[in-house]
Amino acid sequence: MRVGNVAKFLSVVAVIIIGFSYFISPLTTSIKQGLDLQGGTHVVLEAVDTPEAKVDEDAVRRVVKIIEKRVNEIGLTEPIIQRQGDRRIIVELPGIKEPEKAIEMLGKTALLEFQDESGTTVMTGKDLKDAKAEMGQNKNSVVALEFSDQGGKLFADLTTKNVGKHISILLDKQVLTSPVVNEPIPNGKAVITGSRSIEEAQNLAILLRSGSLPVKVDVMEMRTVGPTLGQDSKEKSEKAFSIGIALIVIFMLGFYRLSGFVATIALLVYVLLLVGSLKMLQATMTLPGIAGIILSMGVAVDANVLIFERFKEEYRSGKTLRAALDAGFSRAFNTILDSNVSIMITASVLFVLGTGPIKGFAITLGLGVILSMFTAITVSRYLLRMLMQANVTKNGKYFGA
């Protein structure tokens, strides 16, 4: 037995175990959770005809785009926005604590108008270039407007013709403010006052930036999805995950002994890499995503089993442990590659054709397969070589052969 090599092997194993114990908990808790795990709001919107605007295909597509833009600007994580039939749009908002407020923003028409004292609309939201919330004078929340080139000219003309008079800024036919024009404003900028808080000003700015909905949209259904169902399912998934991992470890240690121990350590590396990758990709975890992880872990173990079985065959044919190890990895590689390519094709199809949670399942499965192959081919092989160099034993039985 080479003491230095044994110490090196044990040091690497200790680093992996300590690294796993230290990083896995903060990584798993920091990954965003989907609607099925943390609850949220499920909304069904329907575009309806009005005397001013009829619903058609183009109008519904524009409504979907505008709602997507509004939801993204709110900063929600992994929302689901999809059409249902010709007129309906399903919106799922994970983690929303004030669904009524969110719904009001999603369905708001946000028609902005600038009127002179006679009530004539001179400009609308289409002349707007940008809108953002700011702290104005006396620390009041305001929305700063910047007009397009054409809008700037219209605003300059409006203020020039109405010096000493009121002009009104209206949102959805409601007067927001009616300031008196003291002098012409030629720089194409204006400010909407009257917001009660910076959050209210930010919401108004989002509505104005995303523009008006082309048709009227009604809320047909609003359902709050509580975390109870998701929490219950999550707890069951975690229990199933723990039991499954324990059985896998027992199986690997019982059948492959030292090789099984190495495979278990490689599995820790695999889990850490997978969770870290999901965190880097800012993925949102859902129940199908958890299913993809568990399935890919089975693939990871399967790759090690294929390698170890080839290793046993080579050893029983009379080769040394080191030669049998190299031959086992070499012979198993093509089989593992073929199997993983098939799974990757399936995951790719699910990702391209699927939606929402199905995409999540495809991502975790595909990513898991890639990482499982990496850890099986590199980490397991590296650790087994270190173990054999340590010359702990030359008896193949301790490696399951």
| CATH for 214 | 3.30.1360.200
Dihedral sign, Cα of residue 199, residue 151, residue 123, residue 117 = positive
Last residue of a domain, one of 206, 224, 242: 224
Mean pLDDT of 49-61: 80
Task: Give the pLDDT score at 14.
Answer: 92
Nearby residues of 333 by Cβ (< 8 Å), 6 or more positions away? 377
380 and 320 in a common domain: yes
Mean pLDDT across the stretch 82-87? Answer: 85
Q: Which two tokens stand for residue 401?
A: 């052969």
Assess whether 14 and 47 both reside in one domain: no
| 369 and 319 in a common domain | yes
The mean pLDDT value for 281-296 works out to: 80
- Beta-ladder partners of 92: 42, 80
**Same domain membership, residue 12 and residue 113:** no
Looking at the structure, do residues 79 and 210 belong to the same domain, yes or no? yes
262-275, pLDDT tens digit by residue?
A: 999 998 999 899 98
pLDDT of residue 269: 92
Angle between helical axes of 227-256 and 258-280 (0-180°, round to 10): 150
For residues 78 and 386, the model is more confident at: 386
* Arithmetic mean of pLDDT over the chain: 82
Backbone angles phi, psi at 354, to 5 degrees: -85, 170
Strand partners for 147? 128
Domain count, the chain: 2
Per DSSP, the three-state class of 238 is helix
pLDDT at 229 over 60: no
Q: Is the pLDDT of residue 66 over 70?
A: yes
pLDDT score for 285:
78
Cα gap 119→166, rounded to integer Å: 10
**pLDDT for residue 15:** 92
DSSP H or E segment with residue 177: strand 174-177
**Residue 365, CB-side half-sphere exposure with 13 Å CA sphere:** 23
Contact 259, 384 (CB under 8 A): yes
Domain span at residue 216 reads: 40-224
pLDDT of residue 167: 86
pLDDT attached to residue 198: 82
pLDDT tens digit sequence for 128-175: 888 888 887 777 888 888 888 888 888 889 888 888 888 888 877 777
- For residue 85, pLDDT beyond 60: yes
> Does residue 281 share a domain with residue 145?
no
DSSP 277-306: HHHHTT-EE-HHHHHHHHHHHHHHHHHHHH
Same structural domain, 357 and 298:
yes
Report the percentage of the chain scoring pLDDT > 90. 5
With 70 as the cut, is the pLDDT of residue 75 above it? no
At residue 230, the pLDDT reads 56
For residue 300, which amino acid is it?
Answer: A
pLDDT at 222 over 90: no
Residue 18 pLDDT more than 90?
Answer: yes
Lowest mean pLDDT among 31-45, 72-86, 282-296: 72-86
Average pLDDT over residues 176-190: 81
| pLDDT average, residue stretch 28-46 | 80
Same domain, 219 and 286: no
Give the CA-trace dihedral at 243, 249, 252, 253, to 10 degrees. Answer: -130
Closest CA to 281 of 78, 41, 23: 78
Same domain, 26 and 170: no
90 and 233 inside one domain: no
138 shares its domain with 238: no
Of 171, 202, 224, the one marking the end of a domain is: 224
On whether both 195 and 65 belong to a single domain, the answer is yes
Rounded Cα–Cα distance for residues 285 and 84 (Å) = 24
The pLDDT tens digits for 309-357 are 888 888 888 888 888 888 888 888 888 888 889 889 998 998 888 766 7
C-alpha pair distances (Å), 139 with each of 58, 198, 201 = 42, 10, 13
Which phi and psi (to 5°) does residue 142 adopt?
-135, 165
| 42: three-class secondary structure by DSSP | strand
Lowest mean pLDDT among 158-167, 231-240, 357-366: 231-240
Which residues on adjacent β-strands are paired with residue 32?
284
Is the predicted pLDDT of residue 89 greater than 80, yes or no? yes
Which of 224, 257, 274 is at the close of a domain? 224
